[in-house]
Chains A and B, each alone.
Chain A
Amino acid sequence: MTAIGARLFGDASIWGNFLSHPQGFLLITVTDLRKVYRQGDRDVVALDGVTLRVPKGSVHGIIGHSGAGKSTLVRCLTLLDRPTSGSVSIGDRELSSVSDAELRRARRRIGMVFQHANLLDSRTTAQNVAFPLELVGTPKQEAARKVAELLKLVGLDRFADAYPSQLSGGQRQRVGIARALATDPDVLLCDEPTSALDPATTEEILDLIKALRDRLGLTVLIITHEMHVVKRACDSVSLLEAGRIVESGRLADVVASPGGRLSMALLPLPGEAPEVLPGGPVLDLLYSGDAAAMPVISGIARRFDTDVNVLAGSVEHLGEAQFAHLRIQLPSSADLAAITAHLTANGIAVTTKEA
């Protein structure tokens, strides 16, 4: 387990603690989850064996187009729909086989944030946040104290008596997040949390989610169709397609795997990057971290005394690290083998487009 964890998730500091405690390491474990719907007289496979491991304290993104099975996955994770087969567990508690009463208790360990916040319009901000506490009969004073604390945490203490209709989309989502945190959950499950928000508000909400993870030690699962959300907020990511996870791993690792679908999506070459041009070999360079900080292009030019033509490129900060994806063309006279070897030796993934 530890070895796999280290390989998948690297050894960044937040993972370190948990690697040494293999027992409490994985918080969300989904194993071979299948969901088959009966539609008329034919079966529709919405989830086709989804397996997912999310370590405690991480922000994991699940990205997929509409129809990939995202909504079904969320409904199965919270047991709003019973999976056809497979298991879901949070911590060491298996959810898919428990009784209704136990399920209700287990659900209180999951805080859920919805695309449209799903606040109750008949309640004020404070009453909405108090809702989960009311369900378990928390004494009024204690609930009021907790609600005040949560509203302060999400920066809405001045809006305690406002109704949802008086709040902006971003504020409503903050209320939704405060409400999700009311029962001190271990997991924050976010279903398209920013898809209904404008770009600036999206940033705010994602920053808030990350800050809460750091402060409360939450494990966060974000389901989204926006690559931007993954770039901005996630430590690791899974690509969901036709009910299957087709790629998965730490952000730094999936970005750095050349030819990968997530890599292409996370670091796309801008515009209509020409695949092949007459004149010389075209190289795709993918590099990260320390390598991204090096003057790669001028380095090649000096060392091999050649011209380098940059056709397209993108450079991005993802999480803590910098990543670059460049498409360059060399003159036909250039020593392709030597240059490729030199780049590879420096930790740069090279894909040659024309031999």
Chain B
Amino acid sequence: MKSSHASAFPAHHTFDVAELRKDFPVLHQKAYGKPLVYFDNAATSQKPSSVIHALSEYYSTTNANIHRGVHYLSQKASQAFDDVRAKVQQFIHAGSEKEIIFVRGTTEGINLVAATFGRMSVSAGDEILVSAMEHHSNIVPWQLLCEEKKAVLKVIPMSDEGVLDMEAYISLLSSRTRLVSVVHTSNSLGTINPVKDMIRLAHQKGIPVLVDAAQAVVHEPIDVQDLDCDFLAFSGHKMLGPTGVGVLYGKLDHLEKMPPYQGGGEMIHSVSFAKTTFNEVPYKFEAGTPNIADVIALGVAIDYLQSMDRSAALNHELGLMEYASLELSKINGLRLIGTSTNKSAVVSFVIDGLNALDVGMYLDTLGIAVRTGHHCTEPVMQRMGIPGTIRASFMFYNTYQEVEQLITGVKKAIELLK
């Protein structure tokens, strides 16, 4: 049993899942009388007690509006908020705090770039390049922009295994390409794309690149300077933080040229009916009172991630994924969807003659949470010729025993539903 490697080593070498699980209160409950097995981590991660506590602590001890108040509480809240910007900068190794914009999540981050950088740099006949495995949130904002500007959305194709065709990518980078917007790690296939190479190739032709890192940041360290990406977006709730907060990183020289996103308080320098001048980066992009509490809790989520042995966590997650893939692929009539050799901790599959929803609901009766359907990547399903998949996505707090429950559950579902 592989699970032995999780507990058989001395403390400083071990990755102690049982100990880590104590930090996640939501995991210690039953669903329909059965122990809850949470395999829907790609949709949202669970939160450690420290993050949950930070939210109530903020409202109990610190709540005030920030940056304008001269009083004690406002200064305390402002300080806590500003500290997180520096923390995020360090977390993704950005060159400057000014390159960190707080948004609601990855979706808003991408929409912000489309509405500002996109509007500014795309004209009729220009092209935006995305990949065949994008989440809808990295397709629709570009479609809206292309419609408005009479521009063209181009798509990098992928193989049956769910791997991007790099030769096609290179030939799609044209003199009309104004931006490449590509997912780092696919939510429905688990594929990890060679974004660093893709960025280098685009930059050779002077084309900027946005990276959708929603599925990546919780699993592996991201270094925006090493990647050399122009923009990178991610969500707090997929990385142990609260919902409603996310980050858009942008290179300073882009951000300084971009027009504001929304108008309101905080983003202005001075307002008169004749002429309004705008605040500097990043405040120019953060109209209105920000999501102070959730930003502060996001900072605590980053602390949590950085306090753990992240490479051991990743190894554990990949171990779960490989074990699940191996055992599932032994089941007659079951087909894994997304079989890239470079994969994240996601297992997507279909079963001959069975509806994914029926299987997912059966697993639910056993207390196992998976996701079924197209996972907001309908074009991926069209490409694979299937209506949807059953997806189990893992986090470091999952166990081999839970994976075994999944395998048993899938076998029982087939017996019942065939």
Partners in one complex: no
* B interface, CB within 8 angstroms of A: none
